A and B are shown apart, each in its own frame.
Chain A
Amino acid sequence: MKLDAKTPEGPIAEKWGRHKFTNKLVNPANRRKYNIIIVGTGLAGGSAAATLAEQGYNVTAFCYQDSPRRAHSIAAQGGINAAKNYQNDGDSVFRLFYDTVKGGDFRSREANVHRLAEVSANIIDQCVAQGVPFAREYGGLLANRSFGGAQVSRTFYARGATGQQLLLGAYSALSKQIGLGTVKMYNRHEMLDLVLVDGHAKGIITRNLVSGEIKSWAADAVVLATGGYSNVFFLSTNATGCNSTAIMRAYKKGAGFANPCYTQIHPTCIPQAGDHQSKLTLMSESLRNDGRVWVPKNAADCEKDPNQIPEEDRDYFLERKYPSFGNLAPRDIASRAAKEACDEGRGVGPGKRGVYLDFAEAIKRLGEPAIRERYGNLFDIYERITGENAYIQPMRIYPAPHYTMGGLWVDYNLQSTIPGCFVIGEANFSDHGANRLGASALMQGLADGYFVLPYTLPNYLAGEKPGSASTDMADFKEAEEAVNAFSQKLLDTKGSRSPRSLHLDLGRIMWEKCGMARNEAGLKEALEQIQNIREEFNTNLKVTGSGKSLNQELERAGRLAEFIDLAEIMCHDALERDESCGGHFREEHQSHDGEAVRQDENFAHVGVWEYKGSGEKPVLHKEPLVFNDVQLAVRSYK
């Protein structure tokens, strides 16, 4: 596997401009002869489909929900970053670039991140022009808030529903093109395989989730925008349908998988209430601006009514450990501190997996109306889910898997190691290194879709003869047959374990051994346990219903199959990366006070895994990371 990042020459601020100029263009009259498949129509895929169609290409797009408007981008609450410097507080493209590289714990590719920061401002312009109702000040200009890990206010937001409003913006642009006939949209279609012709990605196989029909689609290029894979943990803040199937199929067809172990755990989620739980709900991080995080000092107090525990018996552990950042410590740090407290047996709530987020003091200081004004909707969500009133009783929170920085490896053009297979949005690994800053994922998805891919994909197309692949080719027939055979196998296993129950087991292993903190022994154990789960899956799975109709059990089973293989490379990667960085915390590598310690000499690289066949250990390749414009430094939030 050759990893050529194709980073353009020149000073960092000029790379993208030069690259756009040197990229080949496709003659407008020829564009409609090219067919592009886009799998996934969230922020990344939706914006890319709309833009490429607007440029004149023929786009065929797919999503598994019943409408593109439902992609999981919709759930993002907090906001989107952009280097506009509207607040006149010293922000700039370079500062956003710097913050992102630092926030990612120096594990991302400089040139990509700089480009992201450059186009960020255009995203806001584009979205506002599309009618996204961002929050505004009384003067009518756009409002900003600050977000974790930054000292400037550069986050644009639309109440607590920024992702929703941005996605509806992209969806409306996409809808316009669908109405014009330039995009053919297939809802309730799941991509089950990628088809290569002569080593180039030329099509996909899908299952129509309503009729069960397995079908081939040929095109001149394939774009994957299928989002993240946090659902490998079963319980995460992702939508229940989020899956890794598309990227895993591409991986198995030769695409390198980069940094699979980089996962982000979000500190403020509502804790699990019991085994019935199907997903975890994120509570905006902004709560930590006024809430104080604590657990009882003595494990014996954990069952007590929190309001009866006196001040001196409470341990405000974030304030104690990180006096200068206190309750606002970055996500990974706050998450780990909560886990430690619970590991010591001082957790609260069901299963003793939770810590208090207490507003009593803020309510005393500011009054209940002020708190209601700021967080009323979050308190409502909390009450709806837990039945508890956070105005009189502290909230309980616990970290949960939230975002995956890892993903398919892409070069500067967002092309994977398979020519013609492009990957955008959370599905790729590109911009966030080992940890993503809040409000940067939305920015990346839209940057990829609106402003980057529409310049880089045509460069590939310009070298391809349009319409060279067709679904009559043997490559398609073979892939289709394999997909059919696999579905049939799932239905025919007729064992006794439901897909959900197996997924629960897998999730538990991953959460315990490859979650917030990892160690060598645990990861090795996990690798063995995953083998057992695969064995169970192959021999003892039970899928009812048929393949010829809407069958959600079959969908679950198919997704689980890929999650199992993904879990394995995650553990391999976590084991191989013998350092702590960002969201990847190896217990062997921490300072005396429990901070992550990077090993830059050995691990300043992207770890890229190459598939070697089922049951074989994948092979690791490395893309070295070179830092010319920022200095590697220790992240400190003390």
Chain B
Amino acid sequence: MNLKLKIWRQDDKSSAGRFQDYEISDISPDSSFLEMLDLLNEQLVEKGEESVAFDHDCREGVCGMCSLTINGVPHGGERGTTTCQLHMRKFQDGETITIEPFRANAFPVLRDLVVDRGGFDKIIQAGGFITCRVGSAQDANLTPIPKPVADSAFDFAACIGCGACVASCKNASAMLFTGAKISHMNSLPHGKPEKDRRALAMVAAMDEAGFGNCRNYGECAAVCPKEIPLDVIAKMNRDYAVATVKDFLGIG
């Protein structure tokens, strides 16, 4: 396959970026999108140019490191698929592909296509955990958890923290991500004691990190590679409201 690429290049956080055009030929349709970029980089290095920086690690759709907005859609628009799992056979020979970093002010560009998603870590640090001192846990089977509850907790916990939800959202809202974690932990019996605190603290951290407000567009769930449902935002809203009322009344 032969392709034209329009790639965002930026030296560092403080400099301005620009699109640069590249051409690449003889790409196997069996190669993955990132492998296509690997080959582009090999060619750039050969010419003595700086390679295009992009994030990646596991390359099997689970670590959440890869990003990229491809032709305007984070992770390229194939349902339930991360960029690293996207394959070139999904593109047309001769096509022009636009490649940009994930876009949000809370995700500053560090270089080229690499962004800083540290805001997500901050949200988790604020309350995305269930406190349990090592060694103090009871026997694992002491608290049975109904299978449907455990299964849906898993669905929520499947989030890989990639940030596509934020990048797809015209409001740069992190509510799908935050909602997924809150829903995961708040739905399990072990997570209940910290439920209210968690909802309040994580939402506060989310706001603090500079993410926007959800306006119920639903783009996030459509691009989420783990197909996290919009439900989690509704659940989070509900938990937050309950926590607020309790906080106001001074109960719980």
Interface residues, chain A, with chain B CB atoms under 8 Å away: 50-51, 54, 65-72, 74-75, 84, 86, 122, 124-131, 133-142, 158-159, 161, 164-165, 168, 171-173, 175-176, 178-179, 185, 187, 210, 239-241, 273-274, 276-279, 281-282, 381, 384-387, 450-451, 454, 496, 498, 500-501, 542-545, 549-553
Contact = CB atoms under 8 A, between A and B. Distances in A.
8 contacts: A66-B116, A125-B137, A140-B145, A179-B126, A279-B59, A281-B60, A542-B46, A545-B50
B166 to A, nearest CB: 14
B64 A69 contact: yes
For the complex of A and B, the 4 pairs showing the least CB-CB separation, nearest first, are A140-B144, A179-B125, A172-B129, A129-B137
Nearest to B56: A240
Interface stretch (B28-36, B210-218, B232-240): B28-36
Contacts of A67: 117-118, 120-121, 161
A549 B154 contact: no
A274 B30 contact: yes
B147 A498 contact: no
Most chain A CB within a 10 A radius of its CB, from B11, B31, B85, B134: B134
Interface in B10-62: 11-12, 27-32, 34-36, 38-39, 41-42, 44-46, 48-51, 53, 55-62
B89 interface: yes
B65 A65 contact: yes
B48 A544 contact: yes
A153 to B, nearest CB: 14
Contact of B59 (A50, A86, A161, A239): A239
A187 B49 contact: no
Given A74-B58, A129-B136, 17 more contacts: A70-B58, A71-B63, A86-B141, A129-B130, A131-B130, A131-B157, A131-B191, A133-B154, A173-B129, A240-B57, A278-B59, A381-B61, A451-B135, A542-B45, A550-B114, A551-B53, A553-B50
Contacts of B171: none
Interface stretch (B69-77, B93-101, B182-190, B243-251): B182-190
A267 to B, nearest CB: 17
B162 to A, nearest CB: 10
A176 B42 contact: no
Query: Chain B binding site: helix, strand, loop or mixed by DSSP?
Result: loop
A133 B150 contact: yes
B65 A385 contact: no
B145 A136 contact: yes
B85 to A, nearest CB: 5
Contacts of B53: 550-552
The interface centre, meaning the residue of A128, A140, A164, A171 with most chain B CB atoms within 10 A of its CB, is: A128
Contacts of B184: 131, 133
Candidate in B12, B41, B129, B135 with the most chain A CB atoms within 10 angstroms: B129
Contact of A276 (B28, B121, B130, B136): B28
Contact of A273 (B11, B31, B141): B31
A387 B150 CA distance: 33
Contacts of A544: 44-45, 48-51
Contacts of A451: 134-135
Contacts of A210: 110-111
A451 B60 CA distance: 30
A70 B65 contact: yes
A447 to B, nearest CB: 12
Contact of B140 (A72, A128, A282, A500): A128
Contacts of A175: 121, 124-125, 128-129
Contact of A66 (B32, B46, B117, B137): B117
